[in-house]
Amino acid sequence: MSEPVYGTRIVRALRGGQITLPADFRRALEIEEGTMLAISLSSERELTITPLRFSKGPSKGSTWLKEIYEMFADARQEAIDKGYTEEEINQWIDEAVEASRRDRAASQLSDQESVEQVPATRRSA
């Protein structure tokens, strides 16, 4: 079987500028729901979309990530001492982050819908 050729696809921008990445692109780049993407705009007005991959634990070059990881070190150790595994702790953190993202997105959507539902008024002459 030959290697797939992805090439270029044409997609339509939806309300609010949303686009859908073609499924074969998402599969090739291992993009799933919740995957963080870096989006860059070049001086030639071209977009580049790159999936971000995060390693477990603090990265060598990320000072703020090290600080956050260290802030929760005691709580993490306490959970480990109580018999919880790193995998369980990481799963709970992932679930909490995802819930927070959903809540924030729902709040932003609700705010946007509220603005759109405000009727326009005309001045009478």
pLDDT tens digit string along 15-52? 999 999 999 999 988 898 888 888 899 999 998 888 88
Q: Look at residue 125 in the predicted model and tell me its pLDDT.
A: 45
Contacts of 32 (CB under 8 A, 6+ apart): 26
Of 31, 34, 32, 36, give the one whose Cα is nearest residue 99.
Answer: 34
CA dihedral (60, 93, 76, 30) positive or negative: negative
Query: Helix (H, G, I), strand (E, B), or coil: what is residue 118?
Result: coil
Please state the domain extents for the chain.
Answer: 1-53
**Mind listing the pLDDT tens digit for each residue in 71-98?**
788 888 898 899 998 888 888 887 887 8
Contact call for residues 35 and 49 (beta carbons, < 8 A):
no
More confident residue, 110 or 12: 12
Fold observed for domain 1-53? Pemi-like Protein 1; Chain: D (2.10.260)
